[in-house]
Structure 1
Amino acid sequence: MAQYNTLLYYCYTTIEDAEQFAADHLKFCKSLNLTGRIIVAREGLNGTVSGTPEACRAYMEAVHADSRFNATEFKIDEVDEPSFVKMHVRYKEEIVHSGLRDPNIINPQIQTGKYLEPKEFLDMKNAEDVVILDVRSNYEHNLGKFKNAITLDIENFRDFPDKINELAKYKDKKIVTYCTGGIKCEKASALLLHEGFKDVYQLHGGIIKYGKEAGGEDFEGKCYVFDNRLAVDVNTVNPVAISTCYNCGKVTEKMINCANPECNEHFTQCEECGTAMEGCCSDACKEHPRKRVYDGTGYYVKVPQPVNKKEKVSLA
């Protein structure tokens, strides 16, 4: 039996005292000896935390006890060690950065795509009038995606609104969005509806829930996650590797961050190139004076920052 749990969750809800809540929530998480990353905004919570089963149970009970968060769904993974080294709770303008901050235009609490539960998605995804749309970033869908899914050339989710025109040809289709845990789909599907798409759905709970409840059928490759595991298996039905080494082209599912902190590129790299390149994506990064020591994992602990600092903070 695994000694730890990792919880993935989000909740769109109004938090009037979001900055103070973030500071208080950090203290609470530390009192439970949890590690993880949580974003707090006026529009809700977005988090991944890790700890003992008892600590995680206490955390979930506390979240559900607050009427603002009682509808929160937790995806629970059993892990052999904590998925983070430290505990961070950040206050930000959005719980997933989209640049769509006008609640009169995009507000998942008011309008969003219709939920499809994993088994409903499984039954629907291959229909001729259905388009499966991946709303994640390049480094995520390069590692793994649903078979025949439409992917977008975006570096960050905030680039998604600029791609709406590319999707116009699918307006007469049923559009089903998906992402890791569901949080991006809430805004992506809401934006599609705002832009005149009529029949919009989203995979409820994302790739992670689909893997747990429907076996992950037809999800090709691995799923990128925002903790020190970096990638997790999803498909137990018909798995296949689709990602290749950034440096040599060999098939590999190992995802890392470049050892050069000023690059920090997310990319797939085989074990051999990882050793030869010392965890870097290029020779220039390999020679960089601030290059971090590569330990074979490609995961690096972030430099601590003040809890409520508002500038952009990377999640991975």
Structure 2
Amino acid sequence: MSDRITTPFSAQSTAAEVIAAIDLAGRRAVVTGGASGIGVETARALAGAGAEVTLAVRNVEAGERTAADIIDSTGNKQVLIAPLDLADQASVAAFVAGWDGPLHILVNNAGVMASPLLRTVQGWEMQFATNHLGHFALATGLHRALAEAAGARVVSVSSSAHHRSPVVFDDIHFERRPYDPWSAYGQSKTANVLFAVEATTRWADDGITVNALMPGGIRTNLQRYISDEELDRLRAAAGGADLRWKTPEQGAATSILVATSPLLDGISGRYFEDCNEAEVGKLGARSGVAEYALDPDAAARLWQVSVETLTR
């Protein structure tokens, strides 16, 4: 992409550094999975810049502890907690119904990674149901609130694991093909990018921008299904020493860039990593965005399939 976006920030930048000169007073933000991993530091940076931040979390007690910590560290008392289980469509609908007024920033951050085969009550594969369908229902449910904000931003946290699989439309939920935890995760992360592509088309007239990103490798509770031996094997297969862990503060930096930076005003439908736009089709162990993840036809198809799935 000849007009690839670059910034003064890098893989080493922290969320606090990216947001240092930005004032979010009067803005309202939602961070899913805001009580663990990079979600905590994403929420902390937004609160530190003056935003009202709602932590949308499965574990309300953990959310309350996190909110208290963020309030203590930032002095911003506008840190709220709301229950949200992305794998439960009734929970998503309840969150949407409970939201009132404009929403300026939605960070679709929560996720499940490389889990054993689990299914929702509808029979949907759990990683796709949580990482994509839950966030899709949340974002589309909050569309009016985002439009009301005039200039809202939606952040879709993807992963370089999207390199592992496109969305396999013929059998999204592994009803016929053998289940592979990493293929399922990769498919869901591709879906996160495709969502940004199609939402850009559909929501441009509402002033809503939507971008996807890879936060980097961060050791968090996201990897609870992955043993240290498996992580070592993956690191060795992908080049070993080149795969460095980021701190949670560094891992949240690209999310914060996409959510807040004036450098991205009007930019939408793209995929970022290490605080810069990724190169298309030039794939490294943790770098680059696959062409199929930005395919507008696949994005339009996924949107339609998602709507149909959720309305059955």
When normalised by structure 1's length, the TM-score is: 0.28
Which entry has the higher C-alpha Rg, 1 or 2? Answer: 1
Structure of greater relative contact order (alpha carbons < 8 Å, 6+ residues apart): 2
Bigger fraction of residues in strand:
1
